[in-house]
Structure 1
Amino acid sequence: MTLLPKDSNIAKVQNQDTGGNQLFPVFLKLNDLHTVLVGGGHVGLEKLTAILNNSTQAKVTVISREFLPEVHELASQYEGLTIVQKSFADDDLNDAEVVIAATNDSDLNKYIRQAAHDRKLLINVADKPELCDFYLASIVQKGNLKLAISTNGKSPTIAKRLKEVLNESIPDELDTTLQQMSELRNTLTGDFADKVKTLNKVTSILVEPKVTVNKNFIWLIWSTIIISIAVVIAALYYREPQFKSFVEGVPPQFYYFLGAGFLFALIDGAIGMSYGVTSTTFSLSMGIPPASASMGVHLSEIMSCGIAGWMHYRMGNINWKLFKLLVIPGIIGAVTGAYLLSSLEHYSQYTKPVVSLYTLILGLVILSKAFNVKRKRSADKVKRISLLGLGGGFIDAVGGGGWGSIVLSTLIAGGRSPRFSLGTVKLSRFFVAIMGSLTFISMVSSDHWPAVAGLILGSALASPIAARISNKISTKTIMVSVGIIVILVSIKSIISFITKVL
């Protein structure tokens, strides 16, 4: 008698638990197989869409006595799809390699299953797990990465929910990593063991243990720092006459804009937009001319976006390809817009209502986005990134804000990862703000430097915190509040201008 070794594969199989999900996952090359789908109604359409979404060149024959218009529309778009309007017959499976029964007639579905089994074909029967030889899984796809989710036919709803979670959690940029790993593998030499060692070395950073710090401890540190600064300032104010005289000599406008800059930067960190439009709206309401207001916003964003961009860089939230497509056109647009607005500084009484109208529109945009936060993103990514950066930079400079509202929201709506989009837009905004600010400084003689200094310091203080609180606060609540405030203040400014004219 021959004894099997303890680590034998056969021994392992024999000792395995026979419970749980016993399905064996496979990925079929439907582009090379002939699939016959019986059923042209809603269920058939759902199955057909799932096939074509994953295999655009799949060879599929759909058989049914009636078809939904959407099925005919798909037939006009996909060359491999053929529709046959007739009743099902056994002979329809003679050339089939995969069969799907998706009719609303249970007896017909059973008949199709028997015909498939007579021909040794695998079949999926809609909504009848016990009749299926295989299931159609919920699919998560990021470029070349594809994950199939199975609940063993117990709950398709759970599979769909998991699909939504994974679609949001896995960044689109992971496909770039796969491409790079493939290119690296092709350059490796040596035997299999050497290649494995090299790949393990490259990917080791992904599984290195990270030191975790208690969140309460982090908040304790920040609270201690803030309280310590407050105590020092209070002690200096009450015990040092020179410091007290200095503080009292600072124009109140500085303190107003210090608090406003801090608050607006926190809001911007939470929702990824609105710093420019809120700061500009506030500045206009405080009597700052449009060019000076936009200059203050851009100068303050140099430091705040620089800090935020660095924080996102450290957290790995930058898509460098996207960054390159945004930054140069964004700079060109910002410089052009800053030059145009600065040239009209002497006509600020006329440009101010125009800018207020723009902030009113942005306020409406922010408010509308608040009620569409969970809107399904488009499957087609934005293609003209450079044109988006050019327009965003120009409008942002002219209106004192809009880079986040325009560029970031467009990228996310176009299907890009919110986390990578936010980090990339923040970092590119740093360079756009530098060039826009230099243009404003060279052309505008402003008497509102206390306001500018307040915005700069306030936003800089908030930036390290803002970069870490993104998606930590109720986005909808903040966006609704910001949208309403911007709309009301902009309307007030427009009404004041109309009143003066009349």
Structure 2
Amino acid sequence: MTWADLIALLPFIGIGFAAQLVDGALGMAFGTINSTLLVSAMGVPPAAASASVHAVETFTTAASGLSHAYHRNVDWKLFPRLAIPGVIGGVLGAYVLTHVDAAIARPFVMAYLAAIGFYLVYQALRGPIEPKRPRVVEPLGLVGGFLDAAGGGGWGAIVTSNLLVQGSQPRMTVGTASATEFFLTATVSATFIATLGWRAFTFATIGLLIGGLLAAPFGALLVKRLSARRLMGFVGSLLVATSAASLYGALA
């Protein structure tokens, strides 16, 4: 690789680093940030951006999950209750995607997530947060996995936000959702990578992968140090911003 190639790679490394830092700390938005910046700022075609992001996520979710486990941010009792139905939902979503246009349901999902975001911000501003054990987990994993595969992303936004609404401890919620996402991503991406082969790994993919892997340890460390109220406020704000932007794009 020449110096010119390395310089050209730096913007993609920066995008991957920023997206993974946010995703590792808040448990969502890796795909949203990457896709938005690649298409709008870097001029990458939407199809190529999607291929790059999905290929990279297989590796970054593994690194992020291991980092969260190292920092003890993972609830291992909650882990299989999310991972198993999430994988099943992902398989079903990938199947549906080949037969039904998932874009039809996207505006409704985005409006729902924006409402959840406002609620989380309200809870963060209201006062001390008292952790509770979430009751609705398996159906949440199933729906989250299905919508993530059928809609092209959203596991963190759907799973993390709904667990927080149920009173789950923010730090453990983000860590567990990030760790389980690897199994979902690997399952959904298997067919995609098998179909495209090494063509999925474009020049942009290399930069996103390097940046994402570099940022993975920092996101887990950040979530370990943030207070529950601040973390919930950040998650809610990000959810409102990304959902509103996606809703505007879907209706425009």
- TM-score range, shorter-chain basis? 0.7 to 0.9
Cα deviation, residue 298, structure 1? 3.5
CA positional deviation for 1:287: 6.0
- 1:461 and 2:214 equivalent? yes
Between Structure 1 and Structure 2, which shows a larger proportion of helix residues? 2
Q: Which amino acid aligns with 2:107?
A: L
Residue of structure 2 equivalent to 1:262: 17
Question: Does the Cα contact within 8 Å between 1:280 and 1:297 map onto a contact in 2?
Answer: yes
Q: State the match for 1:373 in structure 2.
A: 124
Larger radius of gyration: 1
Structure 1 counterpart of 2:81, which letter? L
Give 1:337's aligned residue: 93
Equivalent runs, 1:73-472 vs 2, <5 Å: 243-247=2-6, 256-282=11-37, 285=40, 288-289=45-46, 294-341=50-97, 343=98, 354=104, 357=107, 360-361=110-111, 364-365=114-115, 367-368=117-118, 369-374=120-125, 381-443=133-195, 449-470=202-223, 472=226
Q: Which moved more, 1:274-283 or 1:421-430?
A: 274-283
- The question of whether the paired residues in 2 share the 8 Å contact of 1:264 and 1:275 is answered with yes
Instruction: Work out whether residues 35 and 53 of structure 2, in 8 Å CA contact, stay in contact via their aligned partners in 1.
Output: yes
Deviations 1:57-96 (A, max 9, x none): xxxxxxxxxxxxxxxxxxxxxxxxxxxxxxxxxxxxxxxx
The answer (yes or no) to whether the contact 2:131–2:169 under 8 Å persists in 1 is: no
Letter aligned with residue 244 of structure 1: W
Post-superposition Cα deviations, 1:261-280, rounded to whole Å, max 9, x if no partner, equal 22121222332322233334
In the alignment, structure 2 segments of 5+ residues that lack a partner are none
Query: What TM-score, normalized to structure 1?
Result: 0.41
Deviation at 1:463, TM superposition (A): 0.9
Residue segments in structure 1 that go unaligned for 5+ positions in a row: 1-241, 496-502
Normalised by the length of structure 2, the TM-score is 0.75
Q: Is the 8 A contact 1:330 1:393 kept in 2?
A: yes
Q: Which residue is 2:241 aligned to?
A: 484
The amino acid that maps onto 2:121 is A
Q: Deviations over 1:313-347 (max 9, x none)?
A: 12222222211111111111112223333x26xx9
CA distance in 2, matches of 1:340, 1:383: 28
Distance between the aligned counterparts of 1:450 and 1:366, measured in 2? 36
CA root-mean-square deviation: 3.6
TM-superposed deviation, 1:399: 2.2
Q: Percent identity?
A: 31
Q: In the superposition, relative to structure 1, how do residues 493 and 417 fare at CA in structure 2: closer, same or farther (>3 Å)?
A: closer
